[in-house]
Every structure is written in structure tokens, then in C-alpha cells.
Structure 1
Amino acid sequence: MSANEETIYLLDMKGLRCPIPVARTRKAVRKLPSGTQIRVECTDPLADIDIPHMVNTDGHQLLDKGAIDGVRWYLIRLS
């Protein structure tokens, strides 16, 4: 792994409904160090509101987001 490569942790929240994806994401990020990148994947349409709100509220950085075949994903760097 080069110095520019980082491990990105995957949190699979597919099939879970609000508020479970945000609650489990919050619980998971508490165990990870600052600067860690995580990718959250979910199918709940409310995640488009909940995940960015959680990121802003908790002081993290939303690096990117998108959707592929009904799966919404969010790339987050932890503060």
C-alpha cells in the first residue's frame, strides 16, 4: 500500500430503515480514529437526509456520495 492509499471501511446498512442506518453508523464511527474514511451503503431513501445531517452535526466531512442500482453510498472522513 502506498502512502496515498487509505483503507476505507465499509458499513453495509442495506435493507435497514430509518433511524437504524444513522444509529449504527454513529456507533461504528466512535470506535474508529480521526481521519478514517468510511463508506456507508444503504437502501433507505431517508438516508439522503439523515447521513449528511449526521456528518455535519458530528463534525465529519462528506467527501462524496452517489447511488447505484438503488443503493445510496456516502464516503465520509471522520474528524
Structure 2
Amino acid sequence: MDRDHEIDATGLKCPLPVLRLRKRLEGVAPGAVVRLLASDPMAAIDVPHFCAEAGHTYLGTEDVPGGAAYLVRKG
């Protein structure tokens, strides 16, 4: 999937990956897709929960070396 922005939060622990995602989403246009790279296993819970609470669309997860990539469309 195409993405407009990418955040590398590899090596950061909860809640930092989601905080970086939130900050980046504040500065992008509605409909933009942000890819978050994270190695913290809690991101698998935190990212979908954050999206549901903040009105963004969680597009899914893909495995990447060293962690996972989470795709989010700004609401």
C-alpha cells in the first residue's frame, strides 16, 4: 500500500510509538496514510486502540525485519 509518511519508532517502548504517530498525524492532511515502524509488541494493541479513539482508520499490520509496520489513514 502506498504511504504518504513514515515514522521509525523501532527500539522505542510504549507509549512512545503511539505518541510519535499522534504527533505526525496532527500535521498531515485528512486521508493521508502514515506507516509506523515499531518493535514494541504493545504497539499491536496500542495503535488500533488509538485509531478507534481518535477517529483514524487502522489499515492493518505487516511484518518487517525487527518488528512490524502499522498503516493508519488520518480521519
Q: Does TM-score exceed 0.5, indicating one fold?
A: yes
Matched with 2:54 is 58
2:13 counterpart (14, 17, 22) = 17
- Aligned length in residues: 75
Gaps of at least 5 residues in structure 1 are 1-5
For the residues of structure 2 that align with 1:17 and 1:26, how far apart are their CA atoms?
15
Q: 2:59–2:72: 8 Å Cα contact kept in structure 1? A: yes
Alignment partner of 2:22 out of 17, 26, 40: 26
The two structures have a TM-score, normalised by structure 1, of 0.85
Identity of aligned residues (%): 35
Q: Which has the larger radius of gyration?
A: 1
Q: Give 1:7 deviation, angstroms.
A: 4.7
Conserved? CA contact 2:3–2:35, under 8 Å: no
Which consecutive residues of structure 2, in runs of 5 or more, have no partner in the other structure?
Answer: none
Structure 2 counterpart of 1:36: 32
Give the aligned CA root-mean-square deviation in angstroms: 1.6
The two structures have a TM-score, normalised by structure 2, of 0.89
Q: Secondary structure at the residue paired with 1:17?
A: coil
Segment of structure 1 superposing worse, 33-42 or 7-16: 7-16
